[in-house]
Amino acid sequence: MSKNDLNIHGIFPVPIAVAETGNEFDNEHQKLIRDTEYIINPYSSNGNRFDYDTSNSTHVLDTEDVPNIRNFILSHVNEYSKVLFGNTDELVFTQSWIMRHPEHQHMFTHRHTNSAISGSYYLQCTEEDANLNLHKDTKEGQIGLPVIRPTTIDSMINDFNCDVTTVPAITGKLILFPSWLQHSMGSGEMDPGRELTGTPDPSKYRYVLAFNTWWNHPIGVERNLNRL
Ligand SMILES: [Fe+2]
């Protein structure tokens, strides 16, 4: 490399983590699906169905009934925490819940508060199901260029200038991300407001386990005035 070459460095990249169990824990997948009670989202005023139902419990992993799923997720959360925070302090689940999508698969863009690491674990989905979108934070003063992406310039799209990264949904897949990172589900091609037609097929329901975490002891430093 000569002295006039341009060197480009990535600074402060955001790590996400992905791991898969495949069908290894299918008994526990089915147990969670079968034994969970759901709060059915009400029909909206125009008669259309909302996108998903949520589990009545917001502590579905606080049980001895699904030890493999629980241990798999928690051990990976704590491995990932070492990379994300450079710290070995243990994280625990604060809340965990299941989202059931009988027909539509859409989740608005959001982030999780009062949590360190969040994630999704797919209990049941198909290859056609909507993926998880992770969004770059838009900052004040960010330049808004028109999005023109013909295939001829696809090579110009990279980790620095893209604004969405999509992770495919597969049964048994775990995706971990910092809780502040915005995420969504579905794509612009879907119409979350379309009318429910007939009775959805339960075998095609999509089930996603989601969770938040926090440290199981006080954090921060007294002398730095940031102790919690
Ligand atoms: Fe979320």
Give me the DSSP letters along 71-109: HHHHHHHHHHHHHHHS--PPEEEEEEEEEEESS---EEE
Residue 80 C-alpha to ligand 1 middle, in angstroms? 18
Residue 184 C-alpha to ligand 1 middle, in angstroms? 7
Q: Is the dihedral of CA 150, 153, 154, 156 positive or negative?
A: negative
pLDDT of residue 141: 59
- Alpha-carbon distances, residue 64 vs 31, 89, 182, 188 (angstroms): 12, 23, 31, 39
pLDDT 10s digits, 107-147: 888 999 999 999 999 999 877 777 899 998 876 556 666 65
Backbone angles phi, psi at 87, to 5 degrees: -150, 145
Q: What is the pTM of this model?
A: 0.87
Residue 196 C-alpha to ligand 1 middle, in angstroms? 24
Domain ranges of the chain: 22-137+146-218
Mean pLDDT, the chain, rounded, equals 85
pLDDT of residue 2: 80
pLDDT of residue 113: 97
In the chain the first and final C-alpha atoms are separated, in Å, by 49
Mean pLDDT along residues 143-170 = 73
H/E stretch holding 133 reads strand 132-135
CATH number of 22-137+146-218: 2.60.120.620
pLDDT 10s digits, 165-215: 999 999 999 999 999 999 998 754 444 444 455 566 777 788 999 999 999
Residue 110 C-alpha to ligand 1 middle, in angstroms? 6
Residue 152 C-alpha to ligand 1 middle, in angstroms? 34
